[in-house]
Amino acid sequence: MTEAIALNKLTFRWHKKLPAVLDMPSLVIESGERVFLHGPSGSGKSTLLGLLGGVLLPETGSISLLGRELTAMNGRARDRFRADHIGFLFQQFNLVPYLSVLDNVLLPCRFSSCRRERAEAEASLLDVARTLLARLDLAPALWQRQASALSVGQQQRVAMARALIGRPEILIADEPTSALDAERQNAFLDLLLQACDETSATLLFVSHDRRLAARFSREIALPTINLARPEAGVA
């Protein structure tokens, strides 16, 4: 298998006078893996995701995604790589409230010609978006509604469709089930894991809720691979 994510001798601190938030000798996630990453609040989970997304840069070490070295890219190149190859699912969904469901799903293809071309290789953009929404059990009657008019569960499915459109090779999910009860958590994971199987995406799912770990191919406790001991309250 090829490596989707590879970190080597990575350290990060917010200021040179502050202690390190992350000190990770190594982390490798193979293409197609479904990885559950957990850790208590303040253990550095959000900081790690910022580094993987190219929003933050490490103090030392390397971050390789899909064989490309993020730390060797300039800011514009990192933004382009993120748009082309990574789908994000956020805790707060981050939908544009005044846009329709379909327009929200299509947003990644507006910003990435790579994802647009991959989507259009299947069908028209609108048809691809509609197919994703139908697979996620979102009724056609909702597709033209503004995102702000949807329930939490409906918004979550729109966010998943947006993350998946254009078949990004890596999917990063940051606490996407934290607002759901156990039944809805399991239903959401059923849909997410099935969608990853269909697209062969590598999934990094971050949560503090270890009850979900059994659904994944590998479980990683961040404190066991992070030699730093960030202070409470650090993301």
Instruction: Look at residue 115 and tell me if it is in a domain.
Output: yes
Q: How many domains does the chain have?
A: 1
Structural domain containing residue 23: 3-225
Condensed to tens digits (0 to 9), the pLDDT of residues 76-106 reads 999 999 999 999 998 888 999 999 999 999 9
Q: Are 48 and 7 in contact (CB under 8 A)?
A: no
CA triplet 71, 74, 75: central angle to 5 degrees? 105
Instruction: Look at residue 180 and tell me if it is in a domain.
Output: yes
Instruction: Look at residue 150 and tell me if it is in a domain.
Output: yes
DSSP reduced 3-state for 45: helix
Q: How far is residue 49's CA from residue 88's CA, in Å, rounded to a whole number?
A: 10
Instruction: Look at residue 230 and tell me if it is in a domain.
Output: no
Instruction: Look at residue 235 and tell me if it is in a domain.
Output: no
Instruction: Look at residue 101 and tell me if it is in a domain.
Output: yes
Instruction: Look at residue 220 and tell me if it is in a domain.
Output: yes
Predicted TM-score (pTM) above 0.75: yes
Token match 């730390």: residue? 71
Domain containing 128 — which CATH number?
3.40.50.300
Which stretch of 11-15, 68-72, 190-194, 219-223 has the lowest confidence by average pLDDT? 190-194
At residue 17, the pLDDT reads: 87
Locate 152 and state its tokens. Answer: 């939490």
Instruction: Look at residue 94 and tell me if it is in a domain.
Output: yes
Q: Are 55 and 193 in contact (CB under 8 A)?
A: no
In the predicted structure, residue 232 carries a pLDDT above the cut 60: no
